[in-house]
Amino acid sequence: MDFSANGSEETELYHAQIHLYKHVYNFVSAMALKSAAELGIADAIHNHGKPMTLTELASSLKLHPSKVNILYRFLSLLTHNGFFVKSKGEEEEEEIAYALTPSSKLLISGKSTCLSALVTGALHPNSIDMWSSTEKWFNEDKEQTLFECAKGENYWDFLNKDSDRLSMFQDAMTADSRMFKLALKENKHVFEGLESLVDVAGGTGTVTKLIHEAFPNIKCTVFDQPQVVGNLTGNENLNFVGGDMFKSIPPADAVLLKWVLHDWNDELSLKILKNSKEAISHKGKDGKVIIIDISIDETSDDHGLTELQLEYDLVMLTMFHGKERTKTEWDKLIHDAGFSSYKIIPISGFKSLIEVYP
């Protein structure tokens, strides 16, 4: 093995081993976080109103006494990873207590920013087990996702035939969509002046309802599969319509595609964009398409942010044949769909808002 001259071979070997092991065992951190969400640790500390000792926490969670030390070891990793913080009382003999951090506050039930459903949904066995089929997937000459290779059916069919699975997926998407409220507050100008808007693949309407609250005069339509919106009711300026975005999209001043195009390859995304362009060109008017998705910048100095975006890219690839796109890829896709201009605005930490014009 060839090591560079930036230090001894032994030192570089040790650093290489640490780097490799860290990525091998990253899944442990993810599963510890999933356990915290399932146990409701953040809820317990939040409801207590102040930091909790290990004894208090174990009692609140109704854990068996034999599991108290196990809880401590889980909390040690979660604390190291920034989800909890330790505090010690003034008296030396007082037990260490655990408090919430901004990250664990995202696990508090009932809060508009609660992402527990996203944590448990993303780390569900259905999503994790498929990775055991990667060798088979790479060696098969078939046009299928890793999920299809592992499960024998595509993810959407898998979801739609089980109401509990579909509900879990919708809960996870709803949890993420609630974070849109912060982005909406910072980008109100994007929606000002619109008379109508259609939220394509808008699920149960979490994002549309936020827009409706901020702009009650905009006629908002949530457009999704009939089985998703069939039993939902709205009001005068908020309605739910079932249909197929690959066939046509209801006309409006603006089409919103929030986390839609990353589910699909370029060919299908092009079809959605062309249908969107037709939808905003009704009655001789030219509206706009509002895309909320990731725009990858591999030259960014923020290594952690880019890593997250590239991880999302593999999630989209392996589950849907979708992709997260670089700015160059967005440019090509948008212009191939017949649009003349666009602008990209970074929002929500790792996503971007892309305004697209005919």
Mean pLDDT of 31-35: 97
- Residue 100: per-residue pLDDT: 97
pLDDT tens, residue by residue, 255-313: 999 999 999 999 999 999 999 999 998 766 679 999 999 999 878 878 889 999 999 99
My answer on whether 14 and 37 are in the same domain is yes
My answer on whether 101 and 127 are in the same domain is no
Q: What's the CATH code of the domain at 343? A: 3.40.50.150
- Indicate whether 4 belongs to any domain: no
- Indicate whether 116 belongs to any domain: no
Mean pLDDT of 318-328: 93
**Using H for helix, E for strand and C for coil, what is the string for the chain?**
CCCCCCCCHHHHHHHHHHHHHHHHCHHHHHHHHHHHHHHCHHHHHHHHCCCEEHHHHHHHCCCCHHHHHHHHHHHHHHHHCCCEEEECCCCCCCCCEEEECCCHHHHCCCCCCCCHHHHHHHCCHHHHHHHHHHHHHHHCCCCCCHHHHHHCCCHHHHHHCCHHHHHHHHHHHHHHHHCHHHHHHHCHHHCCCCCEEEEECCCCCHHHHHHHHHCCCCEEEEEECHHHHCCCCCECCEEEEECCCCCCCCCCCEEEEECCHHHCCHHHHHHHHHHHHHHCCHHHCCCEEEEEECEECCCCCCHHHHHHHHHHHHHHHHHHCCCCEEHHHHHHHHHHCCCCEEEEEEECCCEEEEEEEC
- Residue 2: per-residue pLDDT: 54
26: nearest Cα among 128, 138, 117 = 128
Of 107, 129, 154, which marks where a domain is finished?
107
My answer on whether 29 and 95 are in the same domain is yes
* CB neighbour burial string for 106-123, b if at least 16 within 10 angstroms, e if fewer: bbbeeeeebbbbbbbbeb
pLDDT tens, residue by residue, 74-107: 999 999 999 999 987 656 567 889 999 999 999 9
Respond yes or no: is residue 23 known to be catalytic: no
Cα gap 84→54, rounded to integer Å: 12
For residues 3 and 9, the answer to whether their CB atoms sit within 8 Å is yes
The pLDDT of residue 186 is above 70 = yes
Domain count, the chain: 3
- Residue 204: per-residue pLDDT: 86
My answer on whether 165 and 301 are in the same domain is no
My answer on whether 351 and 233 are in the same domain is yes
My answer on whether 152 and 196 are in the same domain is no
Expressed as residue numbers, the domain containing 161 is 121-169
**Residue 174 binned pLDDT confidence (cut-offs 50, 70, 90):** confident
- Indicate whether 114 belongs to any domain: no
Q: Does 60 or 120 have the greater pLDDT score? A: 60
Cα gap 141→160, rounded to integer Å: 27
- Residue 171: per-residue pLDDT: 77
My answer on whether 206 and 157 are in the same domain is no
The pLDDT of residue 5 is above 70 = no
Cα gap 75→96, rounded to integer Å: 12
List the catalytic residue out of 48, 262, 303, 321: 262
Q: What's the CATH code of the domain at 87? A: 1.10.10.10
Cα gap 279→358, rounded to integer Å: 11
Degrees, nearest 5: CA angle 348-352-356: 140
My answer on whether 351 and 246 are in the same domain is yes
Mean pLDDT of 190-202: 94
Residues with Cβ within 8 Å of 74's Cβ and at least 6 positions away in sequence, in order, are: 32, 35, 36
My answer on whether 302 and 333 are in the same domain is yes
What percentage of the chain exceeds 90 in pLDDT?
65
Other C-beta atoms lying within 10 Å of the C-beta of residue 267? 8
